């Protein structure tokens, strides 16, 4: 049996990490083997790269170096965690993946989308999510959620969160453009809905995906 690969995407403070965890809990109760991971991060090497990328001390990083570090972290994650888990039949839930690079480095920073697509192909070996949940939210609200310190252990903004609102607005528009290109894979949800409404919508999508595969 081959596993299922689901990613969660969205801007800052969109709630994707919370919903990923809730879905993981739900699927485990149904008896699935669930692997939760995050991009960047998810491996020892990825954690080091993540710290480097998010640290306000990395303010001098160039756009191209930033892009390559995200891709490097992902290359390791795919080989070390995601591909083996899918091969043994697990449900893999990943907090961000290739769409983040298109949205942030492509639409946000203005780097060439085709180049990013090629790099994504190289680092993933062509592995694409079966389903992507995009939590869409006005970045004003998302950034406010971040600074209100609703996330444990985080009191100040990281390097990306500290970017101007216009950057985050381009990312939101970019994500929505990606969803229009691949409406079957990328399912857009209004992140301003209640926790329970989003949770039910996520379960529906995952149920539909699993139903279509077995």
**Binding residues vs ligand TMP (CB under 6 A):** 12, 38-40, 70, 95-96, 100-101, 104-105, 160
Q: Which is nearer to ligand TMP, 76 or 105 (CB)?
A: 105
Q: Which is nearer to ligand TMP, 160 or 192 (CB)?
A: 160
Q: Which is nearer to ligand TMP, 12 or 136 (CB)?
A: 12
Q: Which is nearer to ligand TMP, 74 or 187 (CB)?
A: 74
Report yes or no: 34 and 85 within 8 Å, Cβ to Cβ.
no
Residue 89 CB, nearest distance to ligand TMP (Å)?
25
Place of tokens 């409404």: 197
Residue 208 CB, nearest distance to ligand TMP (Å)?
25
Residue 109 CB, nearest distance to ligand TMP (Å)?
8
Q: Which is nearer to ligand TMP, 39 or 136 (CB)?
A: 39
Q: In the structure encoding, which two tokens stand for residue 120, read together?
A: 């994504």
Q: Which is nearer to ligand TMP, 3 or 15 (CB)?
A: 15
Beta-carbon count within 10 A of 72 CB: 16
Residue 187 CB, nearest distance to ligand TMP (Å)?
19
Residue 3 CB, nearest distance to ligand TMP (Å)?
21
Report yes or no: 107 and 166 within 8 Å, Cβ to Cβ.
no
HSE-up (13 A, CA, CB side) for residue 34 = 19
Residue 31 CB, nearest distance to ligand TMP (Å)?
28
């Amino acid at each position: 049996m081959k596993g299922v690969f689901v990613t969660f995407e969205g801007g800052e403070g969109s709630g994707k990490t919370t919903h990923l965890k809730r879905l993981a809990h739900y699927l485990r109760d149904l008896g699935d083997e669930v692997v939760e991971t995050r991009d960047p991060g998810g491996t020892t090497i990825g954690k080091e790269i993540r710290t480097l990328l998010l640290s306000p001390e990395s303010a001098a990083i160039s756009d191209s170096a930033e892009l390559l570090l995200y891709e490097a972290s992902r290359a390791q994650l795919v080989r070390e965690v995601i591909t083996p888990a899918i091969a043994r039949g697990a449900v893999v839930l990943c907090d961000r993946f290739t769409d983040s690079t298109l949205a942030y480095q492509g639409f946000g920073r203005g780097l060439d989308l085709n180049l990013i697509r090629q790099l994504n192909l190289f680092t993933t070996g062509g592995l694409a999510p079966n389903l992507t949940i995009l939590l869409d939210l006005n970045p004003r609200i998302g950034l406010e959620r971040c600074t209100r310190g609703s996330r444990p252990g985080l009191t100040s903004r990281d390097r990306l969160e500290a970017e101007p609102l216009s950057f985050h607005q381009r990312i939101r528009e970019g994500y929505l453009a990606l969803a229009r290109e691949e409406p079957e894979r990328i399912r857009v949800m209004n992140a301003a809905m209640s926790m329970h409404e989003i949770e039910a919508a996520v379960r529906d999508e995952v149920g539909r995906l699993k139903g279509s595969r077995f």
